[in-house]
Amino acid sequence: MASLVPRVTDLVSEARQVFHDNFDGLDPEVAVCAPGRVNLIGEHTDYNQGFVLPMALPLVTVMVGSRISDKNVSIVTATKAVEEPRRVDFVLPKDNQPLSPGQPNWANYIKGVLQHYRAKPLPGFKAVVVSSVPLGGGLSSSASLEVAVYTFLQQLCPDDGDKVAKAEACQKAEHTHAGVPCGIMDQFVSVLGMEGHALLIDCRSLEATLVPLADPSLVILITNSNVRHSLTGSEYPSRRRQCEEAAAILGKTSLREASLKDLEDTKGRLESVTFRRARHVIEEIKRTAEAAEALKRGDYREFGRLMVESHNSLRDYYEVSCSELDELVSAAMEVDGVYGSRMTGGGFGGCTVTLLEADAVDRTIQHIKEHYSGSPTFYITKPSDGAQILSL
């Protein structure tokens, strides 16, 4: 009943064919992939220096291509959902001049990574990208594209191999070329994800702890509301500003440094909306650390309870949920065998993530289909590896 996750080898075959068709019948010399992610808990905490607990998905962006001897770049996307044109051609600027964003929008993520790539000089290249990460679905299709591009460039012009710096360069690409002041979570897990594990990332120190998540009696179900949101809208940056304002009024460098008591003590000096935003973040950071502990000891009930608390806080205090996501969570929680469910990612549409017993999957999908007013798509997923070099 759930959507099949396309095999990486099938995506590579498709990309090879498109390369062949667009570039004089040639075969590409390099192939890489980078995953999307689902965040299990710890939402809107990364840009507040807090904890997040994402895992890399088996849904990936694949990039194949070859270096050429001049400074020309030609890229074709085989992803049908993006706007036309699906091919871009440009020349790499000389002397580190900026590579300005423009149209089509999908190419800006690539141009951003070219600009922030950490080794120079980059050669020209021809390439094809294709992705199984749904676009605008809150599963980090953009981070997976950025990290795939960076991994591809590493094959043409090796950098020092520092993985955290790689994630940071991809995050910068999103800031400068997509206009989204995102945190580090999506790019970090797309680079450093590991099969069979979620990553507890401390976004202050940028240290990550592996949390095993490979119990065969447990399933992680993603439900796409198929309502699209745009993080480039005003809501994400405005949440970020509200958090910075709250931290400044509390006299802290970030909300990571603040306690609920600090917040209560400053109540009279914060507007009620700023208070609610800060409350979500402070509690969510604590909740995420507790959830990681619960997962480590196999206490799925407690983990699920914290997921639902997180969802309610995102709905009521952070106000980034929407009726479709609330419906999906409520429907999932009505089914016997479901531990917890919550919206995942930036919000305003996209997906929910549900933790449940393996033998409850079919009835949960059925129940959600019957009770959701829209048309959901389901993915049964497992924690997967970060970016990889693939053989051709």
Q: Is 139 in the site for ligand GAF (CB under 6 A)?
A: no
Q: Is 43 in the site for ligand GAF (CB under 6 A)?
A: yes
State the nearest-atom distance from the C-beta of 44 to ligand GAF, in Å: 5
Return the number of the residue (71 or 172) whose C-beta is nearest ligand GAF: 172
| Count of residues engaged in binding ligand GAF, rule: CB under 6 A | 12
Would you give the DSSP letter of residue 92? P
Please indicate whether residue 186 is annotated as part of the active site. yes
CA distance 348 to 138: 9
State the nearest-atom distance from the C-beta of 310 to ligand GAF, in Å: 10
State the nearest-atom distance from the C-beta of 141 to ligand GAF, in Å: 10
Burial (CB count within 10 angstroms: exposed 0-12, middle 13-18, buried 19+), residue 326: middle
Return the number of the residue (125 or 303) whose C-beta is nearest ligand GAF: 303
* Tokens matching residue 224: 């796409």
**Pair type for strands 388-390 and 30-41:** antiparallel
Q: Is 47 in the site for ligand GAF (CB under 6 A)?
A: yes
When binding is defined by CB under 6 A, the residue of 112, 304, 345, 383 that contacts ligand GAF is 345
Return the number of the residue (208 or 390) whose C-beta is nearest ligand GAF: 208
Stretch that binds ligand GAF, among 119-127, 153-161, 183-191, 330-338 (CB under 6 A): 183-191
**Of residues 197-236, which lie at the interface with ligand GAF (CB under 6 A)?**
231
Return the number of the residue (18 or 174) whose C-beta is nearest ligand GAF: 174
Sign of the dihedral defined by the CA atoms of residues 239, 242, 246, 252, in that order: positive
CA distance 10 to 7: 5
Q: Buried b vs exposed e over 40-50: b needs ≥16 C-beta within 10 Å?
A: bbbbbbbbbbb
Q: What are 127's strand-pairing partners?
A: 65, 75
Q: What is the dihedral of CA 3, 137, 356, 8, to 10 degrees?
A: 50
Catalytic residues: 186
Residues engaged in binding ligand GAF (CB under 6 A):
39, 43-44, 46-47, 182-183, 185-186, 231, 345-346
